[in-house]
Chains A and B, each alone.
Chain A
């Protein structure tokens, strides 16, 4: 955009410069032409002056010739040219005066000339009178005649002087004119060439711009086509709205979004609104009115009704921009989100179903384990009463059966207790609080104090941090891990459990690759128990998975599943590692 503006400035400057050059050339030419005509007039004037001066001489000669004829013939007829030339000289003289009124030298010369002419004419008269009286004193006459010749020579000389002056003037003017005009053609030629060059550059510029424009136009055309296709594929349409003259433009696909063919109706807001779902019409109108004021339309969802009754969900977004002429224009995009909405609705329904299922499952689990406790407890209690009161009356096998029943009942109780614990270990409505884990570990040890004392177990721990946790659950986690180690102790060794702690960065432990936090608290529970085979590292956390025969060890296969559930609830991880007959270690990661 900006670059184009620059280009147009460039062309403008070239044109202005060219215009000035042409104006300049015109000015110069005009000046030269007017100079030329002035010179021409001066030449004409010089010639006129020449002619007039020649004329004067010729009149004087006429007069001289007439006088000579008179003198010889004494016939006064010859005097006629003399008189005539006199008046003619006067006329010519007046003209000369007019011709030379600007030149003081000429004026002076004319004055001198006038005197000389008067003197000559007077000489004529004297000579004529002497001849007429016929008292021709030859000597005297000769003298007068000679005087006349001298006058004539002076006049001639004067006239020649004036002519010379005039010719000089002419030559001078000619020279100055030539001086002026000498470089003009080259200069003008140069200027014209320059102008032509400039004009050519401008032309080249314009034509390249035009080329570019054509290319851009072509691209725009392609782009428009691509947009059209994109609109069809993506189910969206675009529109423009010139606010000032209230003119709309709808893209082809916008019509299609309304279930119509392109340009099926005139692009107006009223026509568009007629497709909008009646319940959404008011909302949309308000939004449009708002858009006029705020120049920005936040996303708006509304429904449209196709002529065939189909309802589609549309989402629109609009923004105000100013076009090149500075006119307000709103441009916008409208998308068909029916599929998205359908998808979201399906998802929501599925989620609700899933949630419901989950809740039902939890409730079932809870109710099952909780309500199963009651009859079992009674069976056990009645059994204990039976044992207390009636065992003396039992046969040996009867006593054995009692024992078996008791064992099974106990086992069932353990299972139910653990299941109940498992079902209670939920994240819902639990709040995380910052808790000193040393305290929780201490509480867990308290919980197990009986068995710890019985097994004479050594439990050592690093100083643990304060962490945001669900305290009951972490205590449960610690209890389960400790009790697991105590349960699967080596027969010949004193149980030893070492709890170590460190803060680790997510990137420093590959096991945390799925973690969402940057840092984790890492707790390792290491024991010297019977351990387990490496192949069971995953299986060990599965619900009801047990690695040992239930007659050997009393586990239910739920304890470690609870641990896993607890770490999951805390967005943490738990991993197990074991070496048979050497021990196991459990690593717990909690987000820091």
Chain B
């Protein structure tokens, strides 16, 4: 017999972290995904113990500030796209460097170094994913979505969609609809 489980990676990790941190009696805050904020400075001994404890779960401590920053960039971008109602008029590059207090050049090179893609690509990917979500779940027309996501025109959005996914928005919609029909 086989049972398949689906899990929230984030939650599982947080649970593991909490458990291990409590075991070691450390004072902490789990801030964002994969970011632990210690309230007291750690000794190298404590740090070693913590690292060994996590090793069993194949979790490694990333001391690298770069990775953390990349995660922050991603979070900021996602937040920016999903909450566009707040009207961010400035360009995303300006917004990012202001918010994260680093030059955009630095952020961009750091991002592509870690993720193998550019910030622009990431933004586009996120926007297109959001577009997919809106097409399928909110039943919005492409015109409405283009407006919502601050595209200059529908053509711009659908061109970007096509360039990113290789298929047109209508083909995407059709394929998903046919899949649902097939699965039912």
Residues of A within 8 A of B (CB): 439, 442-443, 445-447, 449
Contact = CB atoms under 8 A, between A and B. Distances in A.
B171 A443 contact: yes
B72 interface: no
Contacts, number: 16
6 contacts: A439-B170, A442-B168, A443-B170, A446-B159, A447-B162, A449-B163
A271 to B, nearest CB: 66
Interface string B137-156: 00000000000000000010
- The contact size tier of chain B is under 10
A439 B141 CA distance: 12
B131 interface: no
- Dominant SS among interface residues on chain B: helix
Nearest to A445: B155
B166 to A, nearest CB: 10
Interface in B116-172: 155, 158-159, 162-163, 168, 170-171
A445 B153 CA distance: 14
Contacts of A443: 168, 170-171
A442 to B, nearest CB: 7
Contacts of A446: 158-159, 162, 168
Contacts of B158: 442, 446
Determine which residue in A442, A443, A446, A447 has the highest number of CB atoms from chain B within 10 A of its CB, and name it: A446
Contacts of A449: 159, 162-163
Nearest to A459: B155
B169 to A, nearest CB: 9
A430 to B, nearest CB: 16
A301 to B, nearest CB: 46
A134 B121 CA distance: 203
A446 B172 CA distance: 13
A445 B168 CA distance: 10
B158 to A, nearest CB: 6
Contacts of B163: 449
A446 B171 CA distance: 11
A71 B138 CA distance: 177
Nearest to B160: A449
B163 to A, nearest CB: 7
A438 to B, nearest CB: 11
Nearest to A436: B170
Contacts of B170: 439, 442-443
B28 to A, nearest CB: 50
